[in-house]
Chain A
Amino acid sequence: MSNELIQIETPFQFSEENQQEFERLIQRYPVKEAAMLPTLHLAQKQAGYISPAVMEHVAELLELPVMKVKDVVTFYPMFFEEPVGKYVIRVCYTLPCALRDCKLVLEHIKQKFDIDVASETDLAKGTTPDEKFTLLKSECLASCDVAPVVMVNDDLYKNLTPEKMDEILDGLE
């Protein structure tokens, strides 16, 4: 029998530290379901992306059907269902940044890594082969006074030009 098509995933478990964090989170709400978003953020931080195994574990913790978790994961753009690069680059592309030439920055990154912009359904096309960077277009990042802006993981970079972007990206391990 060929089992090649069946992907067997290793079950997901929170690390001890994250498990404690989760216990702390769950105290904050009168119903467990409300801890969904912070728990998913926590899981994504540990696992890199929300795989079916992660969803199952979160569903178990929150005592919900897995479908409810999947429902939430697909709704919010910040949760990834596929692996992404170590650094997720979000280039703000809304009007105030567009008026300040964010296009130059985006095109520069595309050329630099020879990748396309990832879409929510196809993250792979925006990820470098070494899985170091994923390039995403982002909606307004609420820093229009210092446009154009780019977020790399949790850090915001302001007043960017292609040269400045180069410096920042080259400085990342």
Chain B
Amino acid sequence: MVQERRILYEHLDVPDINTFDVFRQYDGYKRFEKAIKEYQPDDICDMVMKSGLKGRGGAGFSTGLKWSFVPRDIEPRYLCCNADESEPGTFSNRYVLERNPHLLIEGILICCYAMGISTAYVYIRGEFTLGKRMLDAAIEEAYQQGYLGKDILGSGFDLDIYSHPGAGAYICGEETGLIESLEGKRGQPRVKPPFPAVEGLFHKPTVVQNVETLCNLPFLMGNGVEWYTDIGRTYGDTRFDPPQSDPNTGTKLYCISGDVNKPGVYELDLGLTAEELIEVAGGVRGERVKAVIPGGSSAPILTHYELECRLDFTSLTLWKSMLGSGGIIVMNETRNIVDCLLNIMKFYAHESCGQCTPCRWGTPWVRDIVQRIADGEGRQTTMQRPKFGVAEGGRWGDTGEMEEVYEDLDLLESVANNIANVDTMTWNTICVFGIAVSWPAVSYLRKFRPEFEAAIREGKLVTLSVEEATVPPEENYAYQQRIVPSLFEAPT
């Protein structure tokens, strides 16, 4: 069985690790001291680039690359730490904030030193009251110990960290939405470009990083690039290694919830399969897996025969899904996919910020259509269009039959695809919220179509067996279009 490798979470359960003294005993702030004494800021940026560290917030964008976009000649520059953890199924940042806030502060210190930043804001979602209290206390302690404030450790480097509470809006987890919200406005995302790296908070260059990404920095600093890039290759010998140009290095805090026996956060090397992860989490609760959401509720769903997919940023993209924030939700054979989609669509309909029309109107429409199907009032029509095929006379044409069409299912897919098209990957909205709506809507429908059809036909929610509910692999669009990782196997 795959073993956990605890790095970020290694000392999470140490009593009083949230205090400066105990954190210090476990190498706390020593990695920052190493950075500030032995390295120039540019060396650290280089290290981050070479490490292949990818942003853990959702997009999986290379952190080093993001840093390289920041113009160094505009002052001041800002760091926003994104602790607005709202993606359903994700809960790893909460534990860092509540139990080991000094680790985050150390990560912020290293990032700010590398980027020459002297003000950092930690945007914490409003519901994390305990997390904010713990972080505030830790920041206070760090000031007292001289690790924050003016002229830190006599190096001439200044840094202030402030925590900033959100107020319950999911969209503020989007980086430009977060910036707007931090500026004291409605948290509606901005049109990009300009990207925040060039023009962000208060119209200055801004680095926005997730808590988990920043927490990787002390360990990268302490152990070096080689140590870091070796992590994530342990599965590599018999299976696919991501191509050199797009490495998936380091560990990931996989959050697993739903129908598993031991839900929780598991820190594992990037790249194990979904099957292995479920095994690590104590196996499925119930008879068998029906579906798995691999990266927070926005990610396209995986069926039971897609569980061999590796859970890293590259592999999941090649399988037409995404790792996102690493929130894995497992559903067993008793779950009804229509019901699950309804729950998720209610979430998105509530959280749409209302800025772009396709999303403001489309998302509630999608919810209403799914609601109608779940209520047993889904529309089914016998279409007037004749069915085409090989006719009696052996010629191509009208077969004389009428085609049975599930009107609501076509409508559902059409509305969703008009918010954001999952086939062309283009969205008609400012931010990626649009694709976060249509991805689940379209993938649930296409991959579990029999269950939707049954709900319309029977006039009520019908939970089919796993085999009956799932479309076979040969009809599964994602499975057919997936890029098989072995194609990328490095030549030996």
Chain A: minimal CB distance from B53 (Å): 23
Q: Which residue of B lies closest to A139 (CB)?
A: B347
Q: Once the chains are docked, how many angstroms separate the CA of A7 from the CA of B90? A: 45
Which residues of A have CB within 8 Å of B94? 142-143
A–B pairs, 19, beta carbons within 8 Å: A31-B202, A35-B184, A41-B165, A72-B186, A76-B126, A76-B169, A94-B88, A95-B344, A96-B257, A99-B258, A99-B335, A139-B86, A139-B168, A140-B347, A142-B93, A143-B91, A143-B94, A145-B91, A154-B129
Chain A 20-35 residues near chain B, CB threshold 8 A: 28, 30-31, 33-35
Pair A95/B202 contact, Cβ less than 8 Å: no
Q: Check A34/B183 contact, CB under 8 A, given A139-B351, A147-B257.
A: yes
Contact with B along A1-24 (1 / 0, CB 8 A): 000000000000000000000000
Q: Once the chains are docked, how many angstroms separate the CA of A12 from the CA of B279? A: 57
Q: Once the chains are docked, how many angstroms separate the CA of A141 from the CA of B125? A: 10
Q: Which residue of B lies closest to A69 (CB)?
A: B184
Which residues of B have CB within 8 Å of A95? 88-89, 258, 293, 297, 329, 340, 343-344, 347
Q: Which of B259-267, B374-382, B400-408, B423-431 contacts A (4 or more CB under 8 A)?
A: B259-267
* Cβ of A169 under 8 Å from chain B: no
Range, interface on chain A: 35 or more
Contact with A along B66-94 (1 / 0, CB 8 A): 00000000000000000001111111011
* Cβ of A78 under 8 Å from chain B: yes
Pair B87/A140 contact, Cβ less than 8 Å: yes
Chain A: minimal CB distance from B258 (Å): 5
Pair A72/B185 contact, Cβ less than 8 Å: yes
Q: Which residue of B lies closest to A41 (CB)?
A: B165
Pair B297/A142 contact, Cβ less than 8 Å: no
Number of chain B residues whose Cβ lies closer than 8 Å to a Cβ of chain A: 53
Pick from B186, B255, B331, B351: contact of A144, CB below 8 A: B255
Q: Once the chains are docked, how many angstroms separate the CA of A35 from the CA of B128? A: 18
Pick from B130, B168, B327, B343: contact of A78, CB below 8 A: B168
* Cβ of B448 under 8 Å from chain A: no
Chain A: minimal CB distance from B311 (Å): 17
Q: Once the chains are docked, how many angstroms separate the CA of A144 from the CA of B95? A: 12
Pair A37/B181 contact, Cβ less than 8 Å: yes
Pair A76/B167 contact, Cβ less than 8 Å: yes
Contact with A along B115-159 (1 / 0, CB 8 A): 000000000011111100000000000000000000000000000
Q: Check A154/B130 contact, CB under 8 A, given A41-B165, A78-B167, A95-B343.
A: yes
Pair A37/B167 contact, Cβ less than 8 Å: yes
* Cβ of B182 under 8 Å from chain A: yes
* Cβ of B187 under 8 Å from chain A: yes
Chain B 166-185 residues near chain A, CB threshold 8 A: 166-170, 181-185
Pair A37/B88 contact, Cβ less than 8 Å: no
* Cβ of A53 under 8 Å from chain B: no
Which residues of B have CB within 8 Å of A72? 184-186
Chain B: minimal CB distance from A125 (Å): 18
Known contacts A31-B183, A76-B187, A154-B129; 19 further A-B pairs (Cβ under 8 A) = A28-B160, A31-B202, A34-B202, A36-B184, A36-B185, A37-B167, A41-B165, A79-B167, A90-B127, A94-B343, A98-B340, A99-B258, A100-B258, A139-B347, A139-B350, A141-B127, A142-B127, A146-B263, A151-B127
Chain B 2-41 residues near chain A, CB threshold 8 A: none
Pair B259/A140 contact, Cβ less than 8 Å: no
Which residues of A have CB within 8 Å of B130? 154, 156
Q: Check A38/B329 contact, CB under 8 A, given A33-B184, A145-B265.
A: no
* Cβ of B164 under 8 Å from chain A: yes
Pair B184/A140 contact, Cβ less than 8 Å: no
* Cβ of B388 under 8 Å from chain A: no
Q: Once the chains are docked, how many angstroms separate the CA of A34 from the CA of B180? A: 9
* Cβ of B162 under 8 Å from chain A: yes
Pick from A38, A144, A146: contact of B89, CB below 8 A: A144
Q: Once the chains are docked, how many angstroms separate the CA of A31 from the CA of B126? A: 21
